[in-house]
Structure 1
Amino acid sequence: MLTLGSDTLVLASHNAGKLREIADLLAPFGLTVRSAASFGLEEPAETEDSFEGNARIKAHVAAKGIGLPALSDDSGLEVEALDGAPGVYTADWAETPTGRDFDMAMEKLWQRVQETGAADPLRARFVCVLCLAWPDGSDRIYRGAVEGVLVWPKRGARGFGFDPMFQPVGETETFGEMDPSRKHEMSHRAVAFGKLVADILGR
């Protein structure tokens, strides 16, 4: 088993929803968790075409820039009818001149799916890749996924991003309706985090 080597971990993300979820997942382990933004570190450009590549960029920039172990998350929604889109470009679909608008992004996604003529069930998966990087340049990668279907109209005001239109297999609620504690038990981020915990934190 590897060790973290520090009791402080930097979260290399400026996404408030991701920060909240990851902080909740880390809460039982007695770590001091700080965001890269709290150190004044700007977000690097995500120039790779894979979740793993973009996660590595963010984690290594934070670890090297701050001098502490850093954890990054790159995640997105892959829709079968759209050949895996939006995938690594999930957040880009929400970009507007005044910031990210996921209500607009969900409308756009649903319209694109309807244009394909695909029939129910509209299969999709959320994917999360975590990268834990150290200042010496080493890293570990952990991948998680959860399968589900798209629903419309969107349901629920919890969660973030595309959560209100994603219903996991075997569930009756979308991630946008689900109690956060339930989502944390089964989400793509929880699956990836479980692998990290077993590898690094020994639980």
Structure 2
Amino acid sequence: MTICAASNNPGKLKELRRILERMGHTVTSPRELGLDLDPEENGTTFAENARIKAEAFCKASGLPTVADDSGLCVDALNGEPGVYSARYCGVHGDDPANNRKLMEKMSAVPAGSRTARFVSAVCVLMPDGECHTFLGECPGHIAFEEKGTNGFGYDPLFIPDFVGLPDGTTVPNTQGRTYAELADGEKDAISHRGRAMAAMEAALPALLDGKA
């Protein structure tokens, strides 16, 4: 099945492509389809925003479409940045500025109170209008400094509670590595997006039955 991965974010697109191709699907990006879309993400939840993106790209491409909306929810900040994660600093997609703002707001928060979680909503939309949304979360806490380069967004600041193993199991993150310090497989097994897409993978065969 050829699936449109509804994202203009290179880091997110890479992750969506990696996970979907591992499931056996052919993935095409908006750029590869010649689509220049930037739908307004004005939903109040991750699920609403994921559907907004899925609907826009599915309509334009005519393909089954997978869209993700995700973000970081920090307990000490009453859930911020939440659905505003990508534009926390006021400018959409400025990762360094978003991270700086987060670190400034967390500067006085002690180690024991820096709990957070990444949340992902993955929306699968078929050209006939059939739509399903899958949720995933990854608990952890916020680091005191950025570490790692294998990631994007808040990855260098987020320390997950667990890391993945090659066999798909998980172990406690005793080394305190950030998302950005994990190998792709270590992250996919425990990440919010990986968990949402694992739920999607289990349901996808039934969703695609007769639609190939």
Q: Same fold (TM over 0.5)?
A: yes
Q: Residues 136-151 of structure 1: matches in 2 within 5 Å?
A: 136-151=128-143
Q: Return closer, same or farther for 1:95/1:40 CA change in 2, 3 Å cut-off.
A: farther
Q: Which residue of 1 aligns with 2:164?
A: none
| Conserved 8 A contact 2:23-2:201 | no
Matches of 2:23 and 2:197, distance apart in 1: 12
CA contact (8 A) 2:86 2:94 kept: no
What residue number does 1:3 align with?
A: none
Q: Which has the higher contact order (CA 8 A, sep 6+)?
A: 1
Work out which of the residue numbers 32, 35, 49 in structure 1 matches 2:26. 32
- Equivalent runs, 1:14-29 vs 2, <5 Å: 14-29=8-23
Counterpart Cα distance in 2 of 1:178 and 1:201: 30
Unaligned runs of 5+ in 1: 1-6
Q: Where does residue 209 of structure 2 map in the other structure?
A: none
- The reply on whether 1:77 has 2:72 as its aligned counterpart is yes
Q: Which stretches in structure 2 are left out of the alignment for 5+ residues?
A: 162-171, 207-212
Measure the CA separation in 1 of the matches of 2:23 and 2:97.
Answer: 37
| 26-35 or 145-154: bigger deviation | 26-35
1:184 pairs with one of 183, 188, 206: 188
Would you identify which runs of 4 or more consecutive aligned residues in structure 1 move more than 3 Å? Answer: none
1:60, 1:135 within 8 Å by CA — same for their partners in 2?
no
Q: Secondary structure at the match of 1:30?
A: coil
Say whether residues 1:153 and 2:145 are aligned partners: yes
Check the 8 A contact 1:60/1:134 in 2, yes or no.
no
- Equivalent residue of 1:144, what SS? strand
Greater alpha carbon shift after TM alignment, 119-128 vs 27-36: 27-36
Q: TM-score, normalised by structure 2?
A: 0.86
Name the TM-score, length of structure 1 as normaliser: 0.89
Alpha-carbon deviations, 1:122-162, whole Å to 9, x = none? 00000010000011222000000000000111111111100
